[in-house]
Amino acid sequence: MSKYTPMIEQYLKIKAQHQDSFLFFRLGDFYELFFDDAIKAAQELEITLTSRNGSGDDRIPMCGVPHHSATNYIKNLVDKGYKVAICEQVEDPKDAVGVVKREVVQLITPGTVMDGVMLDEKENNYLASLADFDDDTYSLIYIDLSTGETSGALVTTGWEQVLNELYNRPVKEVIITTGLLEAEKQSLIERLNVTISYSEKSSLTETYRHLVAEIDNEHLITGFSQLISYLETTQKRALDHIKPLQLIELNQYLGLDMYSKRNLELTETIIKKSKQGSLLWVLDQTVTAMGARQLKKFLERPLLNRSVLEKRYQFVEGLMADYIKREELRDQLKSIYDLERLCGRVAFGNVNARDLIQLKLSLDKVPHVKEILATFTEAEIIKLGEALDPLTDLKEFLGKSLTDEPPMTIKEGNMIRDGFNDELDQYRDASRNGKQWIAELESQERQATGIKSLKIGYNRIFGYYIEVTKANLHLLPEGKYERKQTLSNAERYITPELKEKENLILSAEEKSVELEYQLFLKIREQVLDYIPRLQQLATEIGQLDVFQSFATISEQQGYSRPDLTTTGELEIVKGRHPVVEKVMSDATYVPNDVYLDQDTQILLITGPNMSGKSTYMRQVALTVIMAQIGCFVPAEQAKLPIFDQIFTRIGASDDLVGGQSTFMVEMLEAKHALTYATENSLILLDEIGRGTSTYDGMALAQAIMEYVHDYLGAKTLFSTHYHELTSLADHLTRLKNIHVRAEEFDGRVVFLHQIRSGPADKSYGIHVAKLAELPASLIERANVILEQLEQTKTPEQVSDQSDQLSFFINEPAEQAKDKEPSQLEQQLKAINIMELTPIEAMNQLYQLQQLLKEED
């Protein structure tokens, strides 16, 4: 292979240090990619693949994008999980000896995006650092680099909880050490779909030690150091906007595993993965980017702290009390810029003058917000208003230093206000007066020569010139003008006087633009000092926006303030599903009551498909979550305990990536609930056992309900199509049967969506098939078969069914004590159910079934 050019050799040396990234190599006005990068980028970005150097196999694949429009191409790659290394020229080509020196000035990864074009203003963009330790502890450190927010948690309950915790936030990239187990690394990629990066554990440098001053756990500090080391390596610039590390005490928040968050569709729908149709979609009435992100964080971590929740209710109630003032407040908040991300760009050095003017205009709104808050009657609202820092000093500084409408870039001039800097004013005066002098000279020359078309112009090559058409050349006096350029129909001249003024004007303009740039850099440095105050203001504005959002949706939808009980009683009067209710805006939603207490721990729900069993279960969980983030709830009245965890098994969701069937997923999710639930938890189980044979399914469903009833004590909603299980109410004292009402009219079933006491009388399976518009002949045949089965059922068959059912329902002790225990009964008594895995349980059931056949 022929020898590479010096430029390609330079590229290869830099690429060798960034093997896992696309290298955007700056050549003039383009970023170029070579070799495998070019081939892959051309496919991903759908751009033309070309080549350079040599011929045949020696040609180097190449593609490129213009540097001025590179942002969208970079965003495309980063959105797909790739990393992009930006390689720029770091010396003036005029000063270069040989190849211009180039360096990677920034590594853009899914977790380190800073450009506003690449970010969703309503979403945080988290980078997580994961460190594992010998004592089976994992530290998780999160940062949103665009806002500087950092937080950390310790996980001591196993790897599955690490996955649950990472799933709980919109994490785009996870930093791990090379020592992490390969199986754990693969589960991060496959189950969470995140980009993996590497950084080793190290001690924290003194520069960042103040950010962990309040943290006394070395595991957390080590994980934070691992994160900072990665950021320093990849970003190569100041990180002054990073906030002190906040400790997340996981036991202070409502536990929601990844299954529950997905099943309840808190922030996105299961099928479309979109915000619309989720609980977040319903609750989001925020008007600022800061508020939208804060609301999502509230949903990610519902609270267990009663006093904080009551304070949030006070805010919501106070804001609901005065519609007009709340609307005035919303109008003021709408004009407030994204202060959090502005702080990040100031620290990164990519903020422009327009951003700072937006900051000034935002600060102009804060006094108005304070005035409005002072007029409410709720003390907590007044207190928040008093705490808002208007940063008057920063606002005044920006007002006197920057013009009202600066340009987009910071190297064009016209950013700094007149009177801010004496030297700049002098340059501007020279430039402005010089231009006036040029205009006056043009008028004088026209009069002196009599050439009305004579004009004085300017271009970058020749500077200022006097242009005369060829038809008027005879009118020019001899010896005064020096020819500079000849055009097809005119000549251009200069004079000593014009040249002297040109030097003065151009020198003043050049120096003015350069001085403005330097002054702006100093202004930006001064704004850095205000970052902590700006971040505090951003947090308070964001929380205020969330509270007004809660108040707005609560008033619109008729939500009520929940009463948090300490007795464990749960009573929801005329509760609704918040999402379904909003989607059914043109129809009447049928509300339902829910009641659970110490005497009623489990609700066993029966009823036909499509009747609303799953909706009923979900609305209970969503009501609890809304209450525990501080929002009012969709009910006429609600008394709720504070739940520590919510577990759900709702809907079929095969884990195809993990190679697990629907039934296995059911069992795993049920196992998770049965392992970690407490008497203060809420469990929702929808048709457990349907993924296997009828008797296996009923056996498992009954065993699960008995275990929850006898050992856990958690409040549970359990829906089933196994009508035989309704008999469990006879011996499980804290289980109550309820059903979703349906009626049959003229051979058609009508779902009334009303919850009533007692078990359902029939399943209406064929009626549902009819609603689904299965072929009429098929429906008719199914009815014939059903009628035959019902008519041919003999007393012996009924007795057989009773015997089979007694296998699942405990036989009364007075009937059993006179009978000699069979081998089957002996084996049943010998089984320790609590120690069986789902697979072992199925094997035992099979053996017992075989034994039963032998005894027959």
Q: Which residues are annotated as a binding site?
A: 607-614
Q: What is the DSSP string of 328-357?
A: HHHHHHHT---HHHHHHHHHHT---HHHHH
DSSP for 180-215?
A: S-HHHHHHHHHHH--EEEE----PPPGGGGGGGTT-
DSSP readout, 298-329?
HHHS-B--HHHHHHHHHHHHHHHT-HHHHHHH
Helices (H), 375-495: 379-387, 392-401, 422-449
Q: How many angstroms separate the CA atoms of 687 and 614, rounded?
A: 9
- Within 10 angstroms of residue 377's Cβ, the number of other Cβ atoms is 9
**Could you give the CA distance from residue 562 to residue 632 in angstroms, rounded to a whole number?**
6
The residue written with tokens 């296995």 in the block is 664
Half-sphere exposure of 81 (CA within 13 A, CB side): 11
State how far the alpha carbon of 615 is from the alpha carbons of 15, 215, 591, 696, in Å. 54, 43, 11, 26
Q: CA-to-CA distance for 650 and 260, rounded, in angstroms? A: 9
3-state secondary structure of 224: helix
Q: Is 577 helix (H, G, I), strand (E, B) or coil?
A: coil
- Adjacent-strand bridge partners of 24: 86
Give how far Cα 42 sits from Cα of 61, 69, 75, 79, 849, Å: 10, 16, 15, 16, 62
**Whole-number Å distance between alpha carbons of 400 and 419:** 8
Distance CA 547, CA 289 (A): 14
DSSP β-bridge partners for residue 686: 719
- Please check whether residue 224 is in contact with residue 245, taking contact to mean a CB–CB distance below 8 angstroms: yes
Task: Give the annotated binding-site residues for ATP.
Answer: 607-614
For residue 522, CA distances in Å to 199, 349, 405, 440 come to 34, 11, 19, 38
Asked if 427 and 512 touch (Cβ cutoff 8 Å), the reply is: yes
User: How many C-beta atoms lie closer than 10 Å to residue 249's C-beta?
Assistant: 9
Residue type, 527: V
Residue 385 burial (10 A CB sphere; 0-12, 13-18, 19+): buried
